[in-house]
Each structure stands twice: as structure tokens, then as C-alpha cells.
Amino acid sequence: MKMNRNIYFIAAAIALASCTGMNIQDTVAEGSLTLNLEIDGTTKAAMTSEELLSSSNVKIYKGDFSGLVRSYKYSTAPEVIYLPADSYRVDVEAGELSSQSPSIASWEQKSYKGSAKFTITAGTNQSVQVAANVVNAITKVTFDASIAENFGGNCSFTIGVDEADASKQLVYDSGKSGKEGYFIVPDVEPQLFWSFSGTLTKDGSSVTKSGKFGNIEKGRLYKLSPKFTIKEGDLDFELSVDYDTEVFSDIIIFEPVSTGLLKSNTMEIWAGHATVHATVDEAEFNDPDKIKFAFTQDGSTWTTVNSTRISEGSYEAVLKNLAGGTQYTYKLVIDGEDIGDSLTLTTDSAPQLPNCGFETTSNCESAKYISFFDSSLSDMQLKVKYWDSGSSASTSVGASGAICYSSTDVPPGTGSTKSALLQSKYVVVKFAAGNLFTGEFAELVGTEGGKVNFGRPFTGRPTAVRFWYKYISGKIDNDSSNTPSDGKKGNWDQCSIKVMLGTWKGGSKGYHGSTSCPLQVNTTDPSTFWDYPNLPETIAYTDFYKAANEAATDWTQVTLPLDYKNLNVIPTHIVVSCAASRYGDYFAGCSTSQLYLDDFELIYE
């Protein structure tokens, strides 16, 4: 289709008069431009020729790219447009691309775009033709007859320029076979993502496959022809890319459902357990109780695990009691016989927190308080600070203000020689809760409070945390106006231990902390008292609170399972935050509370 309409651009005469009374006129003679707009398409579009033309966008820019000069809908553009003599560029957009909110994927409407440079010269007429060509990637999926024979109508082929966003995809079924689809492709690394899914009529088994291909060009037609053929047990899927005089073929071979192991997703493999999968031809093996998995570390001793039937032909099992950072071999066993090839997996590492027994202490930061690292050591895990407390702030008035100590009171039978003692107290003008945490004390905020950066780099995925504690306390004798009701005077003080994993980021655009310690709490600003378990970047969380009248006054071991709310992300940081007074951020608690802690252990099950 070809549409033509003329728009004239005229160089305006510019008159300048001086403010001195002299008549000085510098005249630029008129010039004009005839613009011929041609929209050329090879297939029928949803809009008529006149609709495409009238709804198109016309934008005129300075030739030196210094800015937009004019912008019109073609149908409303004036017949005469005044422009100074200069060089310009005109851009035209038509079809779906010219709509206010263009659809990235469309069955009906193509998009067109064209551009041309021109110059307005005094006293002359310039004729410029702009050809607006198709800028879509065009797909045409035609199902081979073998698809209907094997799947009937129970199949679909999805294709789009975004793998996850359905609004940028089109779904072909048997009714749309052979139909063209139009995509507005991104300017950077354009790709087409495809997926095929269907249910075989012969046995009800599922076939789901996906892929992608890049270097997508605007204005090209991509012909795709799904074909189902069995060749030595393989399903052939032929994908043809056909445009102009060039033909490219990419043969993608994928296997139909058969009996054997499937590789596990990376996120299914933890340090202490792993989920493994298999597909089973239930026409051949029809007793689910005889379908099992077995695994080994040394190749000689095998552990057999019962399977769970997830759906028709799909089975899985959880291999437990694995060691971190270890390779295992596993296999499918049906009715006592090994079926198919075995596979291997390597478990995640199982890191522990540095100095988690608080055995390493020093005065390397100050003679006024204890630090739980020693910069004179060669062991990097012990010579660099990982744990910190508020003692560096509270001892600004002297060593008596320390709120975290090293103690020789230790859990019996553990072999430990030191523990951490968190002591709440009233320090000169403010109540200070005894505390210990992974992170760093950032700075004092006048005499009113301080800033603490919580968290340390960590990429493990423990399933629980275990520690020893004892708590000696009483009723709250300090509070503030904004303290929660159970933290007011007269209530029993509570100890608090929180452990969380996440991908939080510090800095002004994150949670204000540092790169290594991202979560900052400012005790003078309650808006920074983060709702940790509900932060979007929190992956796993657990907490422990005990009121003074309920807590153990003798050493007691506690194991807390970590609650994972996201199983598909590896953490970047861990926070362990311990306080002898739960509401210490609000300057509330009992001034004699003592919380003893020892032997923090991360459990990987």
C-alpha cells in the first residue's frame, strides 16, 4: 500500500530591529519543502491505508541532534510549517508504534518507521520522500500435520520478545497455525523466546520444551514449523528462519518423556539435602511403590530412598543427611533394578560464622571494652571484625559503660572456655541494652543514640540455627514514650535473638548501611526499626524471645528452624542480632538484665 500527502515547510523571514532607532533588517528569503510520505507493507494490516496515514506521528528534529523542533499527528499537521533555514531530520511512526500505549505483541497491527534528512534553503523548494517500512519481527508458526496426529488440539506454541512477560508474547494453537504475529522488538540484544507444550493423546504424557534465538532483525519474517517425528527415540523440532533470499535452519532435538533421571535445578541442591527427579513410563512400570532412588558418596555404600509421585510419569525424592560441598552419585531404581544412567550432584557449602564460640577476644580496638576478634592473629576469620556491640559507644564515658563482655561462665560439657555476656545498664543519661551482632557500630547521634549497621557477607543456606543461652533479668525499669506496650515499665524484660538471611543493599538507595553491613538502624529514628521478616529482600528468618520469668537461668541449648520465604535466591548477607533487652532500641529494659550466649552453630539438614 502506498499513501502520499504533501506537507510544505517554509523558511520564515526574520526581521531584526535595533534598539538605537536605526532600521536594520536582515531578511532570510523563504524556502519550502515538499514531504512525500509512503507507507509500504506486504501483507494486510488491521488499519486501512488512510487510517495508517492519518494516525502516524511526524517529528522534526534539528539536524545536529540538538533537539525536537515540531511534533504532529499527520492528520492534524498544518499545511504550512514555518522553519528557519537550517538542516533537519524528520521521523515518521505509523501503525501500532504510533499509538499512545503500543502493544509489544499483536496479531493484527504492524508498526512502521521511517526517517529522512533534509535542508531548508532560502528561495528553493526541496522534495524529500520518507518511506515508512515495517519494523516488527514477524512470526508465522505453522503446525505440521504430525502435531495434530500426536497431540490433537492439546498443544500450544508460545513466542515473544520477553521470556516472562505474557503481554510481550503470542500463543499459537491449532486455530492460529499459519497466522502472522507482530512484535515491537527492543533495540538492545533483541531475542525471540519460544516454548512448546502439549499432551500426547496416546498416553497422556506431557512434552514441554523451550528455547530462544537472537540477532532478531526488524522487518524480518520468521517461519517456525513444529514437527513431531520419532527418530531413534528422539523428538525432532524443526525451526526455520526464512526471509529474503536467505534461509537459515536450526534443528533443535529434544527427548520425549521416557524412563530415566532428570537433572535437578541448582536451587534444589542444598548443603544437607537435595531434591532429585525422574520420569517414568507408567505403561511399563505401573507400581509407584517400587520406584525408588539411591545415592552414594564413595561409590560402594548406597542409601535407598522412597519416591513421591508428583504427577503422571513424574517422580521425585529428597536425599537427606548429605555433607556440604560434597559430590554424590544417584540413580533410579525400579523393582530392585538400576534403570538408565546415574547422575552426580555437588552439595552447597556449609559455612559457619567466624568466632561463633566467642573464644577469640582482645582489646585491639580499645582498653575500655572487649572485641571479639584479634588483629594480631594470622587467621583471617579471627583477625578481622565480624561481631560487634554497642560498647564502643557506651564506653565514651569510661570502661564502666561497657555493655558486652567476655565471660568464663560456659555451658557444661561443651569444652568451651569463654562465652559472651550482654549486660543492660543505665549509662549516665540513657538506658543501654546489652547487645551483640554481626555488623558494625557506625556512629553516635549526639547524646541521644547511635547508628548500627547490621549484617555480614554470607552465601550459605542453613536450615536452622543452634546456640546456648541463659538469661538473668527482672522487670523493666526504663522506657520511653514510643516504647511498645509490653516494653513499658513493670513488664518483664525480654531477651531477643534474631537470625536472618537476605540480599539487602546498603547506601542511600538501600537500607542506609554499608556494602558489607547493609541494614542500618538509627536509634533516634523509629522509621529505621525495620520489619525484618517482611522486607522484600529477606530470604529466611527466625527469632527467639524469652521474658525474664520464662527464660532459662541455667545454660540451655536452643535450636531454631529458619523459615524460608524465597527458595530461589542465594543470600548475600546474614544478620545475627542479640540483645539482653528486647526493646533496647526504644531505650527500654531492665538495668540488671544479663544474657549469656555461646556456640552459635548453623545447621544444614
- pLDDT tens-digit map of 249-261: 333 333 445 789 9
Measure the CA–CA gap between 202 and 153, rounded to whole angstroms.
13
The pLDDT value given to residue 308: 96
∠ CA 533-536-537, nearest 5°, is 90
- pTM for the whole structure: 0.60
CB count in 10 Å sphere of residue 89: 16
Phi-psi region of 46 (alpha: psi -120 to 50; beta: other; left: phi over 0): alpha
Q: Check: CB of residue 564 under 8 Å from CB of residue 578.
A: no
- What pLDDT sits at residue 37? 55
Residue 407, judged by CB atoms within 10 A of its CB (0-12, 13-18, 19+), counts as middle
Give CA–CA dist 457/354, Å, rounded: 12
DSSP E strands, 260-360: 260-262, 274-279, 291-296, 303-306, 308-311, 314-319, 327-334, 337-346
- State how far the Cα of 506 lies from the Cα of 430, in Å rounded to an integer: 28
In the prediction, which pLDDT does 18 show? 23
As a three-state string, the secondary structure of 46-113 is CCCHHHHHHCCEEEEEECCCCCEEEEEEHHHCCCEEEECCCEEEEEEEEEHHHCCCCCCEECCCCEEE
The pLDDT of residue 507 is 86
| Residue ranges of the chain with per-residue pLDDT less than 50 | 1-32, 41-45, 231-256
Lookup: cell for 155: 498443544
**Where on the phi/psi map is residue 263: left (φ > 0), alpha (ψ -120 to 50), or beta?**
beta
Give the DSSP per-residue string, 222-255: EEEB----EETTEEEEEEEEEETTEEEEEEEEEP
Alpha helical stretches, state H, 387-519: 391-394
Q: Are 203 and 284 in contact (CB under 8 A)?
A: no
